[in-house]
Each structure stands twice: as C-alpha cells, then as structure tokens.
Amino acid sequence: MSKSKLEYIWLDGYTPTANMRSKTKVEKNFSGKLEDCPVWSFDGSSTQQAEGGSSDCLLKPVAIYPDPARKNGFLVMAEVLNSDGTPHASNSRATIDDENDDFWFGFEQEYFIMDTHTQLPLGFPVGGYPGPQGLYYCSVGGKNTHGRDIVERHADMCLEAGLNFEGINQEVACGQWEFQIFAKGAKTAGDQIWIARYLLDRLTEEYGYYIEYHPKPIKGDWNGSGMHANFSNSTLRNAGNKETYEKICEAFRPVTEEHIAVYGEFNDERLTGLHETQSIHEFSYGVSDRGASIRIPIATVESGWKGWLEDRRPASNADPYKVAARIIKTVNSADA
C-alpha cells in the first residue's frame, strides 16, 4: 500500500492582501489525478474566512502538480467554498470569466530576497547602502549578484513541478529578482503563479531568508517590484491593425481606478512616474514604452499588430486571479 502527501494550498481572507495557507493530507493509493483529490475542509475562523460558531470552509481542488521536495508528494491548488458549496467571498479565482481559456497570460513576478536577521535585502549592509542602481540588473559575479543559489533551486523546482516556467533574471535593485510564468487560460496562469510563490516561500525556510512582495520595500532611489501582466485573446492575437489595439487600450482609461483597486496594496509607493512606471494618477499607453501604464510590445507591431499587451501597473503583491479577472472584463468591454 502506497501513501501520498497532498499539500492543499489556498488563499485566506485577509484584505486587501491575502496570504497563502497550506496543510497536508495523506492519501492511500492516490492516482495523482486532480479528479481523485477529495474536497477537504479547514477552520475558517483562523483565517478570517468564518466565525467560530460555524467555522468550516471547504477546499475544492482545482489544479495539481508533483511536489519536487517530497517523496510521493503533490501540490494541490484549491478554491475556498462556503459550507453549502458556493464560492467564498475571498475566492477570487471564481470571479474570472474565461471558461474557454481564450485569454493567455504571462506574469513577470518581481520580488526581493530578505535576510531574516538583518531585515534587509541581500547585498544591503547593516546601517548603510550598497552601490547605486545600474550594475545589478542581469549581473554576473559575487560583487553585484546576491541570492543566485536559491533562485536557481527555485527554478529547478518549478520546472520539476511541471509549471510553465519561462525564465529568471536579477532585477534592477540589489537583492531583487524576477521569474516569469506563462499559461493559456487565465485561471491556469493564476494557479501557477501561486504555486511558484508557494515553492519560493517554502524554500526560504532552509536559508534564513523570506520573500518580500511589498511593491516598494526600500524607499528612495530604488526600483519597486511589480507583477507585469502580459495578456492576449483571440482579438489581440489576430487583429492585424493598430486601430484594434488602440480601441482596447482606450477601454482601460475610464476604469483606471477599478484596475488600481485590485492591483496590489501600497502600489502608490511604486507607481510614481519614476523607475520605469507611470504615475498612479495617470493612464497612458505606447509602443515599447516601459514608462507607460500599458506597453505595446515592439514584437506585436513588427508582427503586423498581432500579439499581446503588457499592463505594467500590477504590484508584486497583487493577486493574479484578481488582476486577470479585471483585465478580461475590460478587454471584453472593448470587444462588445
């Protein structure tokens, strides 16, 4: 008789920034298939998702991946349901309107690796600062590159888990890194970002580090962290004309506040108009413009206006489910 460890992962009810929670279920003779993952429950009164007098919430498995760190282990992404089986108010995945997976998303997840002892990013000396920005981005060598060992291990684990993991690079600020995830289907893209975050956070336990997703953890002349959202649907992939792209970009302008509302806490500290951002109070778009709210990639133009757009506003701590849901709603409004 074989036994498997299923790690159920879900988002709690804290607002405006949800936290990941997880617990392990041991199953006998488990097939490894999503349809054989049982619905489970947890104490919602301990996660801001229920009252103590009626505390059971349900975990509905929605995606499964092999766990690269455990023998006979699986990572199970789960949605939170009320006890009657309806989506819980905190269930942002259930708000995504993309049942036919027409939308493709590529998320660029930036983050800082922090030392738990100094509470500073790797490479920052206690009581001072490292050299200014300029030499850290895509750097090589111990003088400017910090944390490569954990970043490489994380990349390997994501690939072993079967995520559509597309790359890594050190970012502009010292101790700051990025990984990229792409998926056909908004829900799948969100699932994989959360699983990749989970693997990274769990890995830090071995190093005495933690991951800082705050969009501006280091004040001053340092880049903040975003989760740029590259997206397309059939219209964008097949448009063939500039006018369609401009119409879709313009659809974002009147709902700027609605987007910012779900693009991450403390994002006003990052979206200042400096450090490759547009001001949180403005909206703009442009070809190859990393200082715009939405960048039209040069590859899209060179492909005859067939491709994708990049919303550069989502913060590193944003919920990819909420980001995708809002983008889909706005793009569909332009298509209507």
- Structure-token pair, residue 203: 């890995």
87 and 111 co-located in one domain: no
Domain count, the chain: 2
pLDDT digit of tens for each residue in the chain (336 aa)? 799 999 999 999 999 999 999 999 999 999 999 999 999 999 999 999 998 777 899 999 999 999 999 999 999 999 999 999 999 999 999 999 999 999 999 999 999 999 999 999 999 999 989 999 999 999 999 999 999 999 999 999 999 999 999 999 999 999 999 999 999 999 999 999 999 999 999 999 999 999 999 999 999 899 999 999 999 999 999 999 999 999 999 999 999 999 999 999 999 999 999 888 999 999 999 999 999 999 999 999 999 999 999 999 999 999 999 999 999 999 999 976
86 and 229 co-located in one domain: no
Q: Is residue 97 part of a domain?
A: no
136 and 254 co-located in one domain: yes
Q: Is residue 13 part of a domain?
A: yes
Beta carbons of 307 and 233 less than 8 angstroms apart: no
112 and 64 co-located in one domain: no
140 and 282 co-located in one domain: yes
288 and 151 co-located in one domain: yes
75 and 214 co-located in one domain: no
Residue with tokens 């089986």: 85
Amino acid code (one letter) for 40: W
145 and 193 co-located in one domain: yes
**Cβ count within 10 A of residue 164:** 16
- 135 strand-pairing partners: none
32 and 170 co-located in one domain: no
DSSP single-letter state for residue 215: S
- Structure-token pair, residue 42: 């947890």
174 and 36 co-located in one domain: no
Beta carbons of 113 and 211 less than 8 angstroms apart: yes
Q: Where are the alpha helices (DSSP H) in the chain?
A: 148-160, 186-204, 234-238, 242-252, 256-261, 298-302, 320-335
Which CATH number fits the domain that encloses residue 323?
Answer: 3.30.590.10
- 168 strand-pairing partners: 179
Residue with tokens 């190093």: 207
Which CATH number fits the domain that encloses residue 12?
Answer: 3.10.20.70
87 and 117 co-located in one domain: no
Q: Collect all residues with Cβ–Cβ distance below 8 Å to 308 and sequence separation of at least 6.
A: 104, 106, 230, 231, 232, 236, 237, 297, 300
Q: Is residue 249 part of a domain?
A: yes
d(CA 285, CA 309): 10
d(CA 286, CA 246): 9
- Which structural domain, as residue segments, surrounds residue 77? 3-91
- 21 strand-pairing partners: 10
d(CA 221, CA 160): 37
119 and 218 co-located in one domain: yes
d(CA 317, CA 166): 20
